[in-house]
Protein backbone atom coordinates (compact mmCIF):
# COMPACT_ATOMS: atom_id res chain seq x y z
CA UNK A 1 0.00 0.00 0.00
CA UNK A 2 1.21 3.49 -0.88
CA UNK A 3 -0.61 6.39 0.77
CA UNK A 4 0.23 9.87 -0.46
CA UNK A 5 -0.31 13.18 1.31
CA UNK A 6 -3.31 13.73 -0.96
CA UNK A 7 -4.67 10.35 0.07
CA UNK A 8 -4.31 11.28 3.74
CA UNK A 9 -6.28 14.49 3.22
CA UNK A 10 -9.07 12.59 1.47
CA UNK A 11 -9.18 9.79 4.07
CA UNK A 12 -12.00 9.46 6.59
CA UNK A 13 -11.08 11.62 9.61
CA UNK A 14 -11.24 8.83 12.20
CA UNK A 15 -9.33 6.41 9.97
CA UNK A 16 -6.63 9.03 9.36
CA UNK A 17 -6.47 9.83 13.07
CA UNK A 18 -5.95 6.19 14.03
CA UNK A 19 -3.45 5.54 11.22
CA UNK A 20 -1.19 8.52 11.89
CA UNK A 21 -1.25 8.04 15.65
CA UNK A 22 -0.27 4.38 15.20
CA UNK A 23 2.70 5.18 12.94
CA UNK A 24 4.77 6.40 15.89
CA UNK A 25 4.72 2.85 17.28
CA UNK A 26 4.17 1.87 20.90
CA UNK A 27 4.46 4.93 23.13
CA UNK A 28 4.60 5.28 26.91
CA UNK A 29 1.26 5.45 28.69
CA UNK A 30 1.34 8.15 31.35
CA UNK A 31 -1.18 9.87 33.57
CA UNK A 32 -0.57 13.56 34.19
CA UNK A 33 -1.95 14.86 37.46
CA UNK A 34 -2.70 18.50 38.21
CA UNK A 35 -4.82 20.58 40.57
CA UNK A 36 -6.53 23.91 40.05
CA UNK A 37 -6.54 26.89 42.37
CA UNK A 38 -9.89 25.80 43.83
CA UNK A 39 -8.48 22.40 44.81
CA UNK A 40 -10.14 20.30 42.10
CA UNK A 41 -7.81 17.49 41.03
CA UNK A 42 -7.37 16.67 37.35
CA UNK A 43 -5.99 13.51 35.77
CA UNK A 44 -5.48 12.85 32.06
CA UNK A 45 -3.82 10.13 30.01
CA UNK A 46 -1.04 11.07 27.56
CA UNK A 47 1.06 9.06 25.12
CA UNK A 48 3.45 11.85 24.13
CA UNK A 49 5.81 12.11 27.11
CA UNK A 50 9.41 12.26 25.88
CA UNK A 51 12.82 12.63 27.56
CA UNK A 52 14.53 15.91 26.58
CA UNK A 53 17.65 15.92 28.75
CA UNK A 54 19.30 14.44 31.83
CA UNK A 55 21.14 17.42 33.34
CA UNK A 56 18.89 19.16 34.10
CA UNK A 57 16.36 16.33 33.98
CA UNK A 58 13.74 17.48 31.47
CA UNK A 59 10.65 15.84 30.00
CA UNK A 60 8.16 17.17 27.51
CA UNK A 61 4.69 16.26 26.37
CA UNK A 62 2.39 17.52 23.64
CA UNK A 63 -0.90 19.28 24.34
CA UNK A 64 -3.58 19.30 21.67
CA UNK A 65 -5.04 22.63 20.45
CA UNK A 66 -7.41 24.26 22.91
CA UNK A 67 -10.02 25.60 20.49
CA UNK A 68 -13.48 25.55 22.07
CA UNK A 69 -12.54 22.67 24.39
CA UNK A 70 -11.00 23.67 27.72
CA UNK A 71 -7.75 21.89 28.50
CA UNK A 72 -7.76 21.59 32.27
CA UNK A 73 -4.27 20.07 32.35
CA UNK A 74 -2.89 23.09 30.51
CA UNK A 75 -4.76 25.63 32.63
CA UNK A 76 -3.71 23.99 35.89
CA UNK A 77 -0.04 23.77 34.93
CA UNK A 78 0.06 27.43 33.96
CA UNK A 79 -1.64 28.48 37.21
CA UNK A 80 0.32 26.28 39.66
CA UNK A 81 3.60 25.56 37.77
CA UNK A 82 3.60 21.93 38.95
CA UNK A 83 2.26 18.59 37.72
CA UNK A 84 2.98 14.87 38.01
CA UNK A 85 3.78 12.18 35.45
CA UNK A 86 2.67 8.70 36.53
CA UNK A 87 3.42 5.43 34.73
CA UNK A 88 0.40 3.35 33.73
CA UNK A 89 0.51 -0.35 34.60
CA UNK A 90 -1.38 -3.16 32.89
CA UNK A 91 -3.36 -3.66 36.11
CA UNK A 92 -5.28 -0.39 35.71
CA UNK A 93 -5.37 0.46 31.99
CA UNK A 94 -9.18 0.71 31.96
CA UNK A 95 -9.19 3.28 34.74
CA UNK A 96 -6.32 5.15 33.07
CA UNK A 97 -8.09 5.18 29.72
CA UNK A 98 -11.28 6.48 31.35
CA UNK A 99 -9.48 9.71 32.27
CA UNK A 100 -9.84 10.74 28.61
CA UNK A 101 -13.48 11.56 29.42
CA UNK A 102 -14.45 15.22 28.88
CA UNK A 103 -15.04 16.11 32.51
CA UNK A 104 -16.45 19.40 33.75
CA UNK A 105 -14.10 21.87 35.43
CA UNK A 106 -15.51 20.99 38.87
CA UNK A 107 -15.23 17.22 38.31
CA UNK A 108 -12.16 15.18 39.15
CA UNK A 109 -11.03 12.40 36.83
CA UNK A 110 -9.55 10.75 39.91
CA UNK A 111 -13.10 10.23 41.17
CA UNK A 112 -14.56 9.32 37.77
CA UNK A 113 -11.84 6.75 37.03
CA UNK A 114 -11.69 5.42 40.59
CA UNK A 115 -7.97 6.11 40.87
CA UNK A 116 -6.46 7.46 44.08
CA UNK A 117 -4.72 10.85 44.47
CA UNK A 118 -1.58 10.87 46.59
CA UNK A 119 0.48 13.80 47.84
CA UNK A 120 3.96 14.37 49.17
CA UNK A 121 5.04 17.17 51.47
CA UNK A 122 5.74 20.58 49.90
CA UNK A 123 4.44 19.60 46.46
CA UNK A 124 1.02 20.76 45.34
CA UNK A 125 0.18 18.42 42.45
CA UNK A 126 -1.42 14.98 43.00
CA UNK A 127 0.33 11.71 42.16
CA UNK A 128 -1.49 8.48 41.30
CA UNK A 129 -1.25 6.09 44.24
CA UNK A 130 -1.70 3.01 42.02
CA UNK A 131 1.38 3.90 39.95
CA UNK A 132 4.79 2.75 41.18
CA UNK A 133 6.89 5.17 39.10
CA UNK A 134 5.96 8.82 39.51
CA UNK A 135 7.62 12.13 38.67
CA UNK A 136 6.96 15.47 40.31
CA UNK A 137 7.49 18.12 37.63
CA UNK A 138 8.08 21.88 37.66
CA UNK A 139 6.88 23.73 34.55
CA UNK A 140 9.75 25.31 32.59
CA UNK A 141 8.39 26.53 29.26
CA UNK A 142 5.77 26.06 26.56
CA UNK A 143 6.78 25.89 22.91
CA UNK A 144 3.93 26.48 20.45
CA UNK A 145 3.89 24.28 17.35
CA UNK A 146 2.45 26.69 14.79
CA UNK A 147 1.70 24.11 12.08
CA UNK A 148 -1.17 22.47 13.95
CA UNK A 149 -1.75 24.60 17.05
CA UNK A 150 -0.38 22.10 19.56
CA UNK A 151 2.18 22.94 22.25
CA UNK A 152 5.20 21.20 23.71
CA UNK A 153 5.10 21.52 27.50
CA UNK A 154 8.55 21.19 29.07
CA UNK A 155 9.12 20.49 32.73
CA UNK A 156 12.02 19.74 35.06
CA UNK A 157 12.02 16.75 37.40
CA UNK A 158 11.84 17.74 41.07
CA UNK A 159 10.83 14.40 42.57
CA UNK A 160 11.16 10.74 41.54
CA UNK A 161 9.12 8.15 43.43
CA UNK A 162 10.18 4.62 42.54
CA UNK A 163 10.69 1.26 44.31
CA UNK A 164 14.34 0.65 45.27
CA UNK A 165 14.49 -2.87 43.85
CA UNK A 166 13.40 -1.77 40.38
CA UNK A 167 16.57 0.25 39.74
CA UNK A 168 19.16 -2.06 38.17
CA UNK A 169 22.92 -1.64 37.75
CA UNK A 170 23.82 1.55 35.91
CA UNK A 171 20.53 3.23 36.77
CA UNK A 172 18.37 1.20 34.38
CA UNK A 173 14.74 0.56 35.35
CA UNK A 174 13.20 -2.90 35.02
CA UNK A 175 10.05 -1.87 33.13
CA UNK A 176 9.00 -5.47 32.48
CA UNK A 177 8.95 -6.27 36.18
CA UNK A 178 6.73 -3.24 36.74
CA UNK A 179 4.27 -4.46 34.09
CA UNK A 180 4.31 -1.08 32.39
CA UNK A 181 1.70 -0.42 29.67
CA UNK A 182 2.26 1.18 26.29
CA UNK A 183 -0.14 2.77 23.80
CA UNK A 184 -0.46 2.47 20.03
CA UNK A 185 -2.77 4.93 18.36
CA UNK A 186 -5.37 6.40 20.67
CA UNK A 187 -6.84 3.41 22.46
CA UNK A 188 -4.82 0.21 21.93
CA UNK A 189 -2.75 -0.89 24.91
CA UNK A 190 0.26 -3.23 25.08
CA UNK A 191 2.35 -4.85 27.77
CA UNK A 192 6.14 -4.58 27.54
CA UNK A 193 8.62 -7.46 27.35
CA UNK A 194 12.37 -7.05 27.69
CA UNK A 195 14.19 -8.48 24.64
CA UNK A 196 17.83 -7.57 25.27
CA UNK A 197 20.18 -5.24 27.11
CA UNK A 198 22.95 -4.23 24.71
CA UNK A 199 26.27 -2.47 25.47
CA UNK A 200 27.01 1.13 24.54
CA UNK A 201 28.32 1.36 20.96
CA UNK A 202 31.74 3.09 20.81
CA UNK A 203 33.88 4.19 17.88
CA UNK A 204 35.89 0.95 17.87
CA UNK A 205 32.87 -1.32 18.43
CA UNK A 206 31.98 -4.15 16.03
CA UNK A 207 28.58 -5.64 15.41
CA UNK A 208 29.86 -8.92 16.87
CA UNK A 209 30.37 -7.11 20.19
CA UNK A 210 26.59 -6.98 20.50
CA UNK A 211 26.08 -10.74 20.32
pTM of the model: 0.91
* Mean pLDDT value across the chain: 91
**Number of folded domains that form the chain:** 1
Closest C-alpha among 155, 147, 175, 153 to residue 163: 175
Residue 70 confidence (pLDDT)? 60
In a domain, 9, yes or no: no
In a domain, 111, yes or no: yes
In a domain, 4, yes or no: no
Checking if the pLDDT of 42 tops 70, the result is yes
Would you give the distance in Å from CA 139 to the centre of its chain? Answer: 15
Checking if the pLDDT of 211 tops 80, the result is no
In a domain, 36, yes or no: yes
Buried b (16+ CB within 10 A) or exposed e, 133-150: bbbbbbbeeeeeeeeeeb
CATH of the domain at 137: 2.30.110.10
Domain holding 155, by residue range, is 16-195
In a domain, 211, yes or no: no
In a domain, 209, yes or no: no
Residue with the bigger pLDDT between 187 and 85: it is 85
Average of per-residue pLDDT across 10-23 = 89
In a domain, 3, yes or no: no
Amino acid sequence: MHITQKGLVEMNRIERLNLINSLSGIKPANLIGTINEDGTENLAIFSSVVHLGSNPALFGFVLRPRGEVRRHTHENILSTDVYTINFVHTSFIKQAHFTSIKAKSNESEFVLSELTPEYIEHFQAPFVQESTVKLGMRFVEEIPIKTNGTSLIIGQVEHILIPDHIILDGGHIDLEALEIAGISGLNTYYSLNKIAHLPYVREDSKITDLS
